Amino acid sequence: MVDRTRVRPPAVAGQFYPADRESLRAQVDTLLAEAQAPEGAQVGDVPKAVIAPHAGFVYSGAVAATAYRRLEPGRGRIRRVVVLGPSHFVYVRGLAAPTVHWFDTPLGRIRVDSDGIATALEQPRVITDDRPHAREHSLETQLPFIQRVLGDVDVVPLVVGEATPEEVGRVLAALWGGQETAIAISSDLSHFHDDATARKLDHATATAIETLRGEALGPYDACGYLPIAGLLWNAARRHARVRTLELRNSGDAGAPRISVVGYGAFELTEAAA
């Protein structure tokens, strides 16, 4: 009998977001309710992919909610979310897939899509390794938003380490799927500049993202620059459009403006068939 009970427990519940189920649900739902739809958005439009930050919810949650609210019209249609984020604690050569079957959050367990993991592992730069996932917050912080926006969906969680944009892009291409699949890229933007400098740098990063210039991004622009660049590699080949939904930084949420972290929300929309 195959063991389907292995679970990755929360690592940052009670730190980045509430550990209490009801408190977390209330916080995420409030953030989503307050998120503004972008100018020109059409009712029912659902992006193929979003880019959202991964800091503590009191700082970046409003920006993340702006991205994830765009997926709400896809509830019931979207059955799988491919989630990529950078590795902050463990060196990874390529991309790391977990061996666990579930990721747990205070809102409940979210199933890991075994078929999606198998597809990812067909790519030469994907390995199985639970160590990068154990403490990693870049993926974990996306899950409560996914759970509240999309309900019962599966995830394909991949931690990105040393890889090229094309290598990441080819993994995403293999998992791209159709309307049943959404992609979530986890990344903060600039780190530890004063407010004015951060806004200038983050605006330049947003311009590079909107113009699909993944090669222009580096680790000082966004900690998840490789997952972003892999998404943009696909966008350029699929004639997709990426637009900025919101740019803020931790100073906007009350942190000292002398040293802030930048946050951006973006969406990728595929060209009409």
Domain residue spans of the chain? 20-35+46-269
Residues 6+ apart with CB under 8 A from 117: 97, 98, 128, 156
pLDDT at 233: 98
DSSP line for 132-193: HHHS-HHHHTTHHHHHHHH-S-EEEEEEE-B--HHHHHHHHHHH--STTEEEEEE----EEE
Question: Average pLDDT for consecutive 10-residue bins of the chain (273 residues)?
Answer: 76 98 98 85 81 98 98 97 97 97 98 98 97 98 98 98 97 98 98 97 98 96 98 96 97 96 97 67
Task: Tell me what pLDDT residue 44 has.
Answer: 67
Which residue has tokens 């899509």? 113
pTM for the full model? Answer: 0.96
**What does the longest C-alpha to C-alpha distance in the chain come to?**
58
CATH code at 20-35+46-269:
3.40.830.10
Q: What distances in angstroms separate CA 270 from CA 33, 48, 102, one per listed residue? A: 26, 7, 30
**What backbone torsions phi and psi does residue 58 show, to the nearest 5 degrees?**
-65, -20
pLDDT, residue 2, reads 44
